[in-house]
Structures are given as structure tokens and as C-alpha cells.
Amino acid sequence: MRLRIWDAPIRLFHWALVALVPLQWWTAEEDMMELHILFGTIVVGLLLFRLIWGLIGSSTARFASFVKGPRATFAYLRGRAPPAVGHNPLGALSVLAMLAVLAGHVALGLFASDEDGLHSGPLSHLIDHELSEEAAELHEKSFDVLLVLIGLHVAAIVYYALVRRKDLVGPMITGRGEVPEGAAAMRGAPLWRLPIALALAGAAAWWIGSGA
């Protein structure tokens, strides 16, 4: 049965990152640092939104619904997991890993400075120049880690498409897909929560971007 799986906020969040991550790489390569810092602040807002939505959003967006312990994860690997909609336990691990690495990468960027002190993140004034330069180095290195995770993510999508004959991209665009028999339906979040989550995330990102 084709049912709702991902709500609009989750889908928009996902595709916004798909656009912003390469964009950020490019603005850094081309030394367009004002844009890089602006877009970086937007990514901060997106991550904060995802965090909030993971607490109050639709059932498949909530961390509590898909983050499973080792027992459930191994049960899933042995094919003994109950039918469910949304992220399976392995998908959950990859989501957590990507969010964590991206959050760390962005946090480092907030404190980073180039070696000439010309361009620096909005929070770099809180630490001295040497630490800022180190943050910049780690910011660069953590991007490579992020790339590896993104590569694994894409490889998994391709594996599902070619080997398991399961389209995962369609549902992330339309929000609807094949839901296994017996799985509980996705429950959307009340609409009034969306502007609240957006306002909170936006305000926090603006505050951070202004130097906190």
C-alpha cells in the first residue's frame, strides 16, 4: 500500500542539505567567504530545526521512533524486526552519524578563521587566532569524513534500488511510498508546531550568526 512516510518538513530539510553541502564546498573553493559564512549559518538553522522536529514532529521524524538499541538493530539484521515505516535501525545509525558529523563540522566552522585573519566564523571572536586556525583545519578534515558518510548513504540508496528493488528516492520527494503489511501508519504532527519549530531554529541560528 502506498502511504505517507515522510512529512514535508523532513523532505525539505533533506533536499535543502543536498543543495547546501555542495554549494558550501564550492563557495569555500572559490573563496567566496561571505556567502560561505551566510550559508553556513543557514545550515546551523536547518540542523537546529531537525533537532526540534525530531522531538515534536511527525512520527517518522522523531528520533524516539527510529533510534533503536543494539538488540533491536541485531534483530533487524537477522530479519526478525517487526514491520515498520520510516528509518530502519541501520538507516537510523547512518542518519545519526551524518547529523553528528555535520553538526561537528558546522560547529568547527563557526569558530574557524583563515590564517590571514581576513575571514572568520561568527563565533571566532570568542577564541584566539591560533585556536581559530586549528578549528579551520579540523573543519576541513571533518568535511572529508562527511563526504565518506554521504558516499555510503548514496551507495546504500543505489543498493536498495538495484538489489532490493526498493525505491527510496521517490518517497523522499513525494512523501509517499510502499509501506510493509502490518506497519503502523505515519502520524503527522499538528500544523501549528511547524512555525514554532521554524521560529525557534531561526532565532537561534540568527543569534549564533550575529556572534552570540
Partner 1 sequence: MRHWLALGAAAALIAVAACNRGEEAPAPSAEEQANAAQNVAAGTANPQDIAAVMHARHEHYEEMGKAMKGIGDQLKSSNADLSVVRRNAAIIAGYGPQILTWFPEGSGPEAGRTRAKAEIWSDPETFRQRAQAFEAEAANFSRVAQTNDVPAIRAAQGNLGNACKNCHDRFRAPEHD
Rounded Cα distance between 182 and 160, Å, is: 21
Residues 6+ apart with CB under 8 A from 21: 146, 150
Give the three cell numbers for residue 134: 586549528
DSSP run (H or E) holding 53: helix 33-56
Candidates 24, 41, 120, 142: give the one binding partner 1 (CB under 8 A). 120
Contact between 61 and 10 under an 8 Å Cβ cutoff? The reply is: yes
Which is closer to partner 1, CB of 65 or CB of 132? 132
Contact between 22 and 75 under an 8 Å Cβ cutoff? The reply is: no
**How many residues bind to partner 1 according to rule CB under 8 A?**
13
Q: Does 129 bind partner 1 (CB under 8 A)?
A: yes
Which is closer to partner 1, CB of 128 or CB of 178? 128
Candidates 76, 124, 146, 186: give the one binding partner 1 (CB under 8 A). 124
Q: Does 24 bind partner 1 (CB under 8 A)?
A: no
Give the three cell numbers for residue 175: 512523501
Which is closer to partner 1, CB of 195 or CB of 211? 211
On the 0-12 / 13-18 / 19+ scale of CB atoms within 10 A, 75 is middle
Candidates 30, 100, 115, 169: give the one binding partner 1 (CB under 8 A). 115
Q: How far is the CB of 151 from partner 1 (least distance, A)?
A: 21
Candidates 64, 71, 116, 190: give the one binding partner 1 (CB under 8 A). 116
- Site residues (vs partner 1, CB under 8 A): 113, 115-118, 120, 122, 124-125, 128-129, 132, 211
